[in-house]
Amino acid sequence: MENVSSSGPDFSDPLPIEQIESTCVVGGCSGQPCVSSDDVLANGGIVTTCEYREEYRCDRSAQCERQESGECGWVQTDSLEECLERL
């Protein structure tokens, strides 16, 4: 068995899951859904069809953030709008 250094992080008392703040994450095959990390944990991941649309390349300039409603969603940036207009 390998020796473990005592100077490393102590994971013996992790935070309860309720104390870990939920964040918004991007997932799926093409990176199109913006969802809560709570949803990802509850469902065992993010499953989507694997397809590509030209507008998905524009999504890279959008921001996946918590909205005023409390749900996760895409925030349109100027660069996203400009990219979509060029399509």
Where b means 16+ CB within 10 Å and e means fewer, 62-85 reads bebeeeeeeebbbeeeeebeebee
Neighbours of 58 (CB within 10 A): 20
pLDDT category of residue 20 using cuts at 50, 70 and 90: low
* Alpha-carbon torsion, ordered 55, 52, 41, 69, to 10 deg: 20
Per-residue model confidence (pLDDT) at position 68:
93
Instruction: Determine the Cα–Cα distance for residues 43 and 27; give it in Å rounded to an integer.
Output: 13
What are 36-58's pLDDT values in tens digits?
Answer: 988 888 887 888 888 888 887 77
Q: What average pLDDT does the segment 27-43 reach?
A: 84
pTM over 0.75, yes/no: no
